[in-house]
Amino acid sequence: MSVGDFERAAKSVLPRAVFGYVNGGTEDCHTLAANRDAFRSVQFRPRGLVGVADRTQAVELWGRRYRHPFGIAPMGVTAMCRHRCEWDLAKAASHAEIPFVLSGLSTLAMETVRKADADFWYQGYLPGDREVIEPLMRRLQANGVDVLVVTIDTPLGANRENNQRNGFTIPFKFSRGLLWDGIRHPRWSANVFARTLLSDREIPRFRNVVADARGYRITEEPKGGLRGGRDRLDWSHLAWMREAWPGRIVLKGVAHPGDAQIAERMGLDGVIVSNHGGRQLDGAQGSLDALPDVVAAVASTFPVMVDGGFRRGTDILKALALGARMVFLGRPFLYGASVAGQAGVARVIDILGTEIDRNLGLLGCRDVAELGSDFIVSRG
């Protein structure tokens, strides 16, 4: 009945180490908690007697109309939760007419994902190296990708102690503990471990991180390291990409309004306010808390999107009222996929859409485009 139900179900389906990887944050998880706490500081101020029989939650972004004001955020290594998980996510998104963002650290080749959703966005963890970026952009163009999302909050790997304690690391390493964990979760072992080995007949590979579709195994440390060169990425690379890339460029991981202003001046097409789901810098602002200042720093025509901690339709409505053009969710859809594949993802989409529709009416608003500061009050 709710995203929370799917989270609890996923916890019983997934091995402890895998669920901990999906669910956890960094260090003391202060940012993870801040994402959720932020929603409690914003309250609704509903209007009455406005006639809400005809409601719509459709939104338009760059001339394209989406059925809901939310999309599926990029998530890496989803194959650990469901065999060919990216297919389930992309297919459900395509049917629901919402955006799906394919992670660079995904294991299903973008050429295959394109068959499920020809209009997916691509999110890259890019090094400060034009010789790597340029051929990757050519591959993206060949696959019809129009929106390139560049993540800027991962110049270094975070201190994810919970993963280390659970024995779950990337590159992935097998251990007796993980093997026993899988045995105690037979549903996961059959649907993920066995299907991967029997149908794919190889260890999953990161197939979309570079131009070469072969990529490298999730158990391998690539030359230069998994995050090699990311700490050299700077604004000069984005300026060059703006000239070289004909489609949209969106920055993900924006927390400071100054970065949003630079992106707007540079001619980029939007930003996503994000703290990587509480998985990078611990002690950072909750995404909803950071959103208003970023919105205020740029023109109203410049799209500001957001992710981080969203679990209810009311959460999404609060972000829209604070100026977000689109909200992205990650973990909720991965919980749905872990429990029931594409049907699970579709059910999560339906839950969120239904909650938005119901609460939009209770709020006294006919159209999400009409949401603004008049409908909310901050508790401070």
Q: What is the pLDDT of residues 15-31, one digit of tens each?
A: 999 999 999 999 999 99
Query: What pLDDT, in 10s, does the model give residues 89-134?
Result: 999 999 999 999 999 999 999 999 999 988 999 999 999 999 999 9
pTM above 0.85, yes or no: yes
Q: What percent of the chain shows pLDDT beyond 90?
A: 82
Catalytic residue (one of 68, 83, 185, 276): 276
Q: With the C-alpha atoms ordered 252, 256, 259, 264, is the resulting torsion angle positive or negative?
A: positive
Beta strands in the chain (DSSP E): 42-44, 59-61, 64-66, 70-72, 101-103, 121-124, 147-151, 205-206, 216-217, 248-254, 270-273, 304-307, 326-329, 376-378
The upper half-sphere exposure of residue 75, i.e. CA atoms within 13 Å in the direction of its Cβ, equals: 30
pLDDT of residue 197: 75
CA-nearest of 164, 154, 183, 107 to 284 is 154
Extract the tokens encoding 142.
């060949």
Q: What is the pLDDT of residue 379?
A: 74
CA atoms within 13 A on the CB side of 109: 11
Q: Residues 161-179: what's their mean pLDDT? A: 80
pLDDT, position 233? 96
Average pLDDT for residues 75-80, to the nearest whole number?
A: 94
Whether the CA torsion 233, 278, 42, 56 is positive or negative: it is positive
Residue 69 has pLDDT above 90, yes or no: yes
Residues forming beta bridges with residue 124, ordered by sequence position:
150
> Cα separation of 143 and 2, whole Å?
35
Residue 156 has pLDDT above 80, yes or no: yes
Assess whether 237 carries a catalytic annotation.
no
Dist. CA 270–CA 251, nearest whole Å: 7
- End-to-end alpha carbon distance in the chain: 31
Asked if residue 173 has pLDDT above 80, the reply is: no
Tell whether the model's pLDDT for residue 315 goes beyond 80: yes
Tokens of 210: 């570079």
pLDDT score of 335: 98
For 218-272, the pLDDT digits (tens) are: 888 777 667 779 999 999 999 999 999 999 999 999 999 999 999 999 999 999 9
Q: What is the sign of the dihedral through the CA atoms of 174, 72, 241 and 272?
A: negative
- What average pLDDT does the structure give for the chain? 94
